[in-house]
Copies of this chain bind each other. A is one copy, B any other.
Amino acid sequence: MGGDFGSDVTIPASLQCLKVNSELTLILVGDEDILKKSLTQALLDYPDRLKIQHASQRVEMDESPSKALKNKKDSSMRVAINLVRDGKADACVSAGNTGALMATARFVLKRIPGIDQVAIISTLPSIYGHTHVLDLGANVNCSAKNLYQFALMGIEVVKAVNNIAAPTVGLLNIGEEDVKGNEQVKEAAKLLKASSLNYIGYVEGNALNAGSKKVDLIVTDGFTGNIALKSIEGAAKMIGTSLKAAFSKTLFSQLAGLITYPVLKSFKQSIDPRLHNGASFLGLRGLVIKSHGGADALAFETAIHLAEIEVEKKVTKKIIEKFEAIAAEKESM
């Protein structure tokens, strides 16, 4: 029921995913009447793979997380996360209120033992394909240990999504030299250097989209990560606006725009943010994926597809096992 467009987006996206992946079962959580009305045919088409779970409430997009947690115990978001907790679903995908989703997920699923902070990871388009980045806003202040744990969790997502064994990890900083950065970053660099991760050192902001070399995973605190993400969104919007303005300036430029339409379309597709939709909450005992609130059906499909990959590759289980191993190693020392 969440996001700016509710079931108008989530239903078509869900049906498309069911069509493409015959292994997939979806439980749509929300107002039963609304859902049943839209899904009459689909429930016949997918008698075993499409289910409806009623939830009498919905969290508004501007509702405060604490109020949602307290007053909306039967919200679609809460019921969906309960399904994950109870083992009835492998993941929850939501386009709803980010703060409320995070607060509810933390409250219902609890943190994995050994992990101090839950982080948000997603991909950004890059000249090399894409770059995974975390944290994107869950944690305003991060210690070196937090950053290190983010890297440990993040590479499990990168391994799953990119299908590679040893992803490269970079730390976001204001220069590549050792002396650069704040204390947290410098300490985190030491921890990463001493680890078994494929750590390549500090990277600057441009590495997110177009660095001099490919980096699979970039680690940063949630304050910087969120501002970098939004700055990139703003830059893309400005450039898009300028391009549009240039192509509508004169009659000639309008004609040129018509002629180059297929080229511009191919350009737009190459950096389409909808193909990078879906941010995973990492560090919880269950998988929750946040879709952009303004996602359309294609974008929401991408988020569901991300959940499919992470479930198939058992990302949460691998993170739990990794931190269990760390704890066991500490005890034996």
Contact = CB atoms under 8 A, between A and B. Distances in A.
A201 to B, nearest CB: 15
Contacts of A160: none
Given A246-B263, A267-B246, A127 B238 contact: yes
A271 B238 contact: yes
How many of these chains are in the complex? 2
Interface stretch (A49-57, A100-108, A207-215, A284-292): A207-215
Interface residues of A, number: 57
B233 A246 contact: no
A231 to B, nearest CB: 4
A216 to B, nearest CB: 16
Nearest to A249: B266
Given A172-B227, A209-B231, A231-B231, A267 B243 contact: yes
A326 interface: no
Given A137-B174, A223-B174, A266-B249, A271 B205 contact: no
Interface string A233-265: 111111101110111010011001101101110
Contact of A256 (B126, B246, B259): B259
Given A206-B233, A239-B239, A256-B260, 15 more contacts: A127-B238, A127-B242, A174-B226, A181-B223, A182-B223, A205-B230, A205-B234, A208-B231, A209-B235, A210-B238, A224-B227, A232-B234, A235-B236, A247-B263, A247-B267
> Which 6 interchain pairs have the tightest Cβ spacing?
A205-B230, A206-B234, A205-B231, A246-B267, A209-B234, A209-B238
